[in-house]
Amino acid sequence: MAAGMMAERGLPKVAFIGTGGTIASLGRDALDILDYGATGRRLEAGGILAAVPELASVAAMVPVPFQAVPSPAIGFAEWRALVGLCARLAADHPDLAGIVIGHGTATLEETAYALSLTLTVDLPVVLVGSQRPMSALSTDAKLNLVAAVRTAAAPESRGRGVLVVLNDEIQAAREVTKTSVARLQTFRTPDFGVLGQVDGDHVRYYRRSERAHAPGTPFDIRDLTALPRVDIAYGYADADGTAVRAFRAAGARGLVAAGLAPGMVPPGEAEALEAAAAAGIVVVMSTRAGSGVVPLSTRLRERGILSADNLTPQKARILLALALTVTAEPEAVARLFATY
């Protein structure tokens, strides 16, 4: 049924952008739930919607062609394109209730956080993925998509920033992370829990994320060709700073340390990070623990290293790279980390 005809029935209009990933994938057969990527078969946005005809009773869907790739292939260029595409959809469809973006789960949280800092529209934008391909027995792709569309269409979703919906749970882009390779309940918010839940056709919220988000941030990536280089140095016993020195040689303008909890690194790594900060590279300490705030200790202050607050290393990298598009002054960067 055409979107216009459905809209006449009073259904909300929701755009769906397909970027690929497991939710778009087709395996060899219904029992192929692990090696489906080997087939190379992925549905475009229209094909994904066609595979879930039940959406016709939920919203007037607008399929938006984009691409169909594994999520490890998605990064800054795609984030910039999605920012522009969402703006065009909002302009072309004044009656649009929300936007859903289908995405592979490997980097879904990174795209969600990047968009939550850079979008220029105030519509609900929901990222959705699946742990099992569309072709699998007991796939989660179809119901995840229905839940995401219901969330994007709900008036209560406005003003909450970019959302992530899988497994009937609504999560904040800044806070959520993938915690399991294959389990359906992989997306979790360790410190704070879900924002809400989707139970059947009911979208219910129970809390709100307090950190600032788009639109209205200082991060405008629409005319950028690339983000400043920011790398992540993973902390481990006996780390001696080799990776830090290599990242400096490669031209890094910022470094995130995925430190040992609660925000420490071995002596050799600490010396390399301190030298990087002294050389004008902005260094931020996160933790490999996956949860909790890195305290801005006297030791970090003396070494010129900032705290990532409770951001995971991969999200701290995104915020630091965006921060460096507007300032390289450590105190100003620290304020951005306290805001977003």
- Asked if residues 167 and 160 have their Cβ atoms less than 8 Å apart, the reply is no
Cis peptide before 215 (omega within 30 of 0): yes
Collapse the DSSP code of 44 into the 3-class scheme (helix H, G, I; strand E, B; otherwise coil) and give the result: coil
- Asked if residues 319 and 286 have their Cβ atoms less than 8 Å apart, the reply is no
Instruction: Report which residue type is found at 79.
Output: W
Please say if 105 is a catalytic residue: no
- Asked if residues 258 and 288 have their Cβ atoms less than 8 Å apart, the reply is yes
Picking from 212, 189, 230, the residue whose alpha carbon sits closest to that of residue 118 is 212
CA 248 to chain centre: 26
Picking from 194, 108, 312, 22, the residue whose alpha carbon sits closest to that of residue 116 is 108
Q: Which one of the listed residues 19, 22, 139, 151 is annotated catalytic?
A: 22
Rg (alpha carbons) of the chain, rounded to whole number: 21
Cα–Cα distance for residue pair 19/234, rounded to 1 Å: 29
Q: DSSP label at 239? A: -
* Residues belonging to the active site: 22
